Structure 1
Amino acid sequence: MQQNEKILLVTKETNSTALLKNTLAETGVTETVQIKIKQDIYSYTREIKPKAVIIETDTLDDELLQHIRAINHECVVPVLLFTDTDEEALIDKAIKSGVATYIAGSAEPKRIKTILQVAMSRFRETQKLKQDLDKTQAQLEERKIIDRAKGILMQHKHYSEDEAYRALRKMAMDKNKRISDIAESIVSTFELLG
């Protein structure tokens, strides 16, 4: 981890975690904000903007999973969950809620440094994959719109596919817009006129 970073530590009790906090400090964490499990984890995460949220709990309930979902959706930080529960259904629910790392067992200080480093690395990789997927999906949608616009031009102007694409490209250059924007306009106009 880089220097000058915060961690939100969520535990059932706010005492008896001094060793864990010291271990986190050794990894470069400059501030560990600790709250109890029943506090509003999502609000604290939004407020302090930690690099990671570490949750240590005996059980997993729907309220906690809702907080994790909100954190994953809005705050985009890795959530590390340490719990005594090793039931497959609960693990699946936790992962689907956005838990980056699920550890069946306690947050033992001697393991936390490695677990945190792996979780942060895995989280960054997952975020990159999500961004790549979003970019690819956007490109695919643009391609579909361009193909629809070409089809409209081919049908109504009797252009070949190459001529339709060249016409789209020329309109885009003339109007200083992207081809996909011109294609979207053509498709929208065609749908409006029916």
Structure 2
Amino acid sequence: MAPKLSIVIVEPEPERARLIVDALRDAGDFDIRVIAERSGLARQIAQRQPDLVLVDVADPSRDTIEELTLATGPLDRPVALFVDRSDAGLSAAAIEAGLSAYVVDGLTPARVKPVLDAAIARFRMMQRMRTELAETKRALEDRKVIDRAKGMLMRARNIPEEEAYALLRKTAMDQGRRVADVAEALVTAAGLLG
């Protein structure tokens, strides 16, 4: 059986919090915690380590969004922000801040589950994109250092590029290391000697 999805609800008003909790309980079997006090929000969320954070704010400002972003850790988990009204540009600011969902016109029980599902899906998609971007950047950096090392070997040994790469690859295999790590060591050593 899959573990229950843990959800933290940030809502200072007890009646609104109860409506949200009831809507979630009607929608599924979740581990739900309510945080009523925003002071120390980051610490409270860090202690609970929820799978998802749902925040209900009547009238947000850029400062509120920035504060909530820092506190809720939207790069660590999906965060859905429900607002009663929004000024121009706030939804873009919320998305740029990493929030997974920004829902205007308040929180109604019927909207809670679909919005949370969408927030989780968007978070997972963004997480995949961040991972792919990091892997691509690393591969590019690896490629650069390998090319530098090949160039150094080609000049030092007067060998063609294919032979230089084969030498790097053989050294990496002999040492049980990645080619990029061997190339980095060569470039670093040459920098120290040069």
1:180 aligns with 2:149: no
Segments of 5+ residues of structure 2 without an aligned counterpart are: none
TM-score (norm 1): 0.89
Q: Distance in 1 between matches of 2:117 and 2:156?
A: 59
2:81 aligned with 1:68: no
How has the CA–CA distance of structure 1 residues 96 and 190 changed in structure 2, closer, same or farther, with 3 Å as cutoff? same
The 4+ residue runs of structure 1 with deviation greater than 6 A are: none
Could you say what secondary structure the match of 1:106 adopts? coil
Q: Distance in 2 between matches of 1:14 and 1:190?
A: 66
Partner of 2:112: 112
The equivalent residue for 2:92 is 92
1:177 is paired with a residue whose SS is coil
Q: Could you say which residue in structure 2 is the equivalent of 1:144?
A: 144
Equivalent residue number for residue 155 of structure 1: 155
Q: CA deviation at 1:63?
A: 5.2
Using the alignment, how far apart are the partners of 1:144 and 1:16 within structure 2? 55
- The residue aligned with 2:60 is 59
Amino acid at match of 1:35: I
Q: TM-score, normalization: structure 2?
A: 0.89
Q: Where does the alignment leave 5 or more consecutive residues of structure 1 unmatched?
A: none
User: Tell me, what secondary structure is at the counterpart of 1:98?
Assistant: coil
Instruction: Give me the identity figure in percent.
Output: 33
Q: How does 1:2-81 map to 2 (within 5 A)?
A: 4-36=4-36, 38-57=38-57, 58-62=59-63, 64-72=65-73, 76-81=76-81
d(CA) in 2 for partners of 1:165, 1:16: 64
Q: 1:65 corresponds to which letter in structure 2?
A: E
| Greater CA drift, 23-32 or 174-183 | 23-32
Q: Secondary structure at the match of 2:61?
A: coil
Q: 3-state DSSP class of the match of 1:17? A: helix
Cα RMSD of the aligned pairs, angstroms, is 2.0
Counterpart-to-counterpart distance in 2, 1:97 and 1:90? 10
**How far apart are 1:134 and its partner, in Å?**
1.2
| 1:70-119 CA-partner distances (Å, limit 9, x unpaired) | 5336x701110111342233222222222111111211101111111111
Q: Which SS does the other structure have where 1:54 is aligned? A: strand
Count how many residue pairs are aligned between Structure 1 and Structure 2. Answer: 192
2:101/2:119 contact within 8 Å kept: yes
